[in-house]
Structure 1
Amino acid sequence: MISTDTDDGTVLLNERTGQYWQLNNTGARVLHGLLDGQEAVGIAAELADRYSIDLQQAERDVTAVIERLSGAKLVVS
């Protein structure tokens, strides 16, 4: 996987399939957190605090991003 940060988030290239993915800033934060070794719950807590949203909603959102990235074989969950 090759990734490039942009003003709007991150663009990913799956080198095996040639598919591009674009993540918004929140999705990019999830990806960078995972790459930095953070647990999903820690990423969710950070997002909940940053955006003043319910922790459970943040956890669901982080899980959804991880599932999509995993389904595309961009990360291993």
Structure 2
Amino acid sequence: MKISLAPHVTETRTENGESVLLDRRNGRYWQLNASGSEILSLLLRASDIAEVTAELRNRHPKAADRIPGDVQALLTSLRTSRLVQS
């Protein structure tokens, strides 16, 4: 399941690793901290959530137990807000 930004969403990365998502349909902005931005970046490149989870566990082994829940929570929020599509 490939994830992509919805056609009406623009992402801007900040200098500190965060992201700002703009929903051009309604002018709403969404800010992702550096962790959320990293997860989104991986979701947009990966072929599935398992690949994202594995990559994050390699990068952040001390947080390995929290990673699956964090990835799923962010993805659910992005989908609910119609910022991404699969």
Name the TM-score, length of structure 2 as normaliser.
0.76
Question: Cα RMSD over matched residues?
Answer: 1.5
Aligned pairs, how many? Answer: 76
Q: Distance in 1 between matches of 2:50 and 2:35?
A: 15
Greater relative contact order (Cα < 8 A, sep 6+): 2
More helix by share: 1
- Return the TM-score normalized by structure 1: 0.84
Report the Cα offset of residue 70 of structure 1.
0.5
Stretches of structure 1 that go unaligned for 5 or more consecutive residues are none
Q: Matched residues in 2 for 1:29 and 1:8: separation?
A: 8
Percentage of pairs with the same residue: 36
Unaligned runs of 5+ in 2: 1-8
Counterpart pick for 2:25 among 11, 16, 28: 16
Alignment of 1:1-77 (within 5 A): 1-6=9-14, 7-52=16-61, 53-54=63-64, 56-77=65-86
